[in-house]
Structure 1
Amino acid sequence: MTQPLDDILVLDFSTLLPGPMATLMLAEAGAEVIKLERPVTGEDMRKTEPKIDGRSIGYAILNRGKKSITLDLKAEGVVETLRPLIEKADIIVEQFRPGVMDRLGLGFDAIKALNPAIIYCSITGYGQTGPKSNAAGHDMNYVGDAGVLSLSCGPTDQPANPFTLVADIGGGTYPALVNILLALRQRDKTGQGAHLDIAMAEGAFAFAYWAHAQGVIAGEAIENGKDRLTGSMARYRMYPAADGRQVAVGAVEEKFWLAFCDVIELPEALRNDAKDQDATKAEVARRLGAKPASHWEPLLEAANCCCTIIKTPLEASKDAHFAARGVFDWKTSVAGQQVTALPIPIAPEFRAPPADPVAAPDLGEQNTTFGIGQTT
């Protein structure tokens, strides 16, 4: 089949999550993605748990369908070694701190001299410039600096970690992918490449657009866990059922709220939650907490009121709805064992159809193919 990116070559110098997930999506859309990994050990994700027969599942699902060559980027003559691939490449993705690729002779200016049409994507925590450009950090630091973590981080004496990697994926992977595709479109018009400066901390801002409107533009204070979207409203928060399972109540609109109130038989005096949010929340909690999730789930489903039982990842993977849409149809393999590939938001018509499991590459698997790999 013809895929949108089946004529695109990507050199992937990135590691761990943001860059590899972006290049995974490019690969799923047909691009040839070649990972440049250090000899002997490979990239750090190969070491992460859980594993099957010593092979990382995390690495396998993030690098499905890619190729791997091993190369010591600090070795003398590395640029000349890579020159044949650099000259043919359409995209380079790197995730080092600012200046590292320049010191290796692989910075944007050096690559552009060899390939003026190259789209060079740099993913960092804080960007290529600015006072924090060389500061070390991880997802929690980036969402903390972007003000996002302050919106709902749990009690002061027992704060809750973010439930997902907002900055890594939302601030790194997705902006990288979007801007790479925009740069490809721009190159179609001009013939020129681009250097994309992707800063994960900056990318996190968009995930709290309402906080920008309220806290930055309007200048209103937003307390931890006390905004309309972070728990202040009775009709938009989580409540425990009798068995400890959580009920996600998202009945913001009045028609959904009233339908939910009917399900739990909330007294009329408390249905206008604007009068006394605390009193309404307390009674909703009492009623939902009186019976297990198995009691509430069919009733809430029948009411169709934006209220659901929170699923575990395993339960979600077995959901009949996702199965019907083929979300988990694609497979990969780890140490010869077939496992479900990572669901990614690439439309099925742009991906190769599910068939035999497509594996991640063994370390240096394509060294011989390209004739430039190193093992030591």
Structure 2
Amino acid sequence: MPVSAEAKAPARGFGLYVHWPFCVSKCPYCDFNSHVRERVDEARWTQAYLAELDHYAGIGIGRGETITSVFFGGGTPSLMPPETTAAILEAARRHWPFAPDVEITLEANPNSAEAAKFAAFAQAGVNRLSIGVQSFDEAVLRFLGRAHDAGEARRAIEAAAKAVQRYSFDLIYARPEQSAEAWRAELRDALTLAGDHLSLYTLTIEPNTGFAGAVARGALKPMPDDAQAALYDLTQEVMERAGMPAYEISNHAKPGGESRHNLVYWRSGEYLGLGPGAHARFTRGGTWSAVQNRRKPEAWLEAVEAEGHGRETETPVGRRERAEEALMMGLRLSEGVWAENLRAASGLSLDEVVPPARSVPLEQAGLLTRTSDRLIATKDGRAVLDGLLARLLA
């Protein structure tokens, strides 16, 4: 079906990401920058986040921008004291205006102790919760190393629905020996509890994780690629029928329920990143910069206290590199990459980045759709996006 052209691309937004690096335990599939610590000096950490915010505002990052979204990620941000959340939001509001419909998301685990804090987080300013459920099956939760049970997961979702206007939760599928029938039943169960958004991720074996070690030892056999692809197709079928189609490869929403913060990334908007290992993308002195903070919590904390920020690297990004990054992120979306946003992010036109002669064979293969204002990976194209990008950017 042809895609109709639209006159104006959606706004890219300006986001703030806050990384809380601490977890109760490390899950065997997780490669995020998360750490287990017996004790955290919460007052010291609060002051460090505020200092890094002051630093970025002081050097003029985001001047003239309006914050459209804030995302507290981790780690496990629901371990953060709600008072810390409130202090960060209050400081951010002093430095930048917030959009009237600003989305403020906090990632949370379903443990009872953390779910009991949802109302306090809402009072602090959080208006969206993203809950790491992963499964409603007790055996699967044990396999995934989760610290909650299925009952806690259901109660956490109920608590989120009472505390905030919007909530989402995650599930992991394509687990070893998982059947299509079992996954269909899990999805139907999840849909009875869902708000306006669900994140559905295939189990990926990341390097340097517990599962990677198990695979190397022969103790774990990942699901074959063709079986994973079949479950992916089943996911699209079930979710589309439920009125929550994929707006991104792994993310599904009712119309208007999309994660506005993640759209900042996928639409190549600017964002600040606070905390250990956080990334940022912003313009400074007319140059696009890619920032990486120190990953180790103690190293970041000491750097902020000594220098006012935790940056480890800040790298200028050239126009071509920026355009390719915009393509890699934007083609994950069902809306595709808008030519207007690509030019705003990189200064290059869509034709300069992807000449029509290069995209035509992929269009003929049913993997791409091209209009006057955007480039869109079809459903089949998004299923093989890595290969598609390799062809486009060759």
Q: Which has the higher strand share?
A: 2
Higher Rg: 1
Higher relative contact order (CA 8 A, sep 6+): 1
Fold match (TM-score > 0.5): no
TM-score, normalised to structure 2, is 0.25
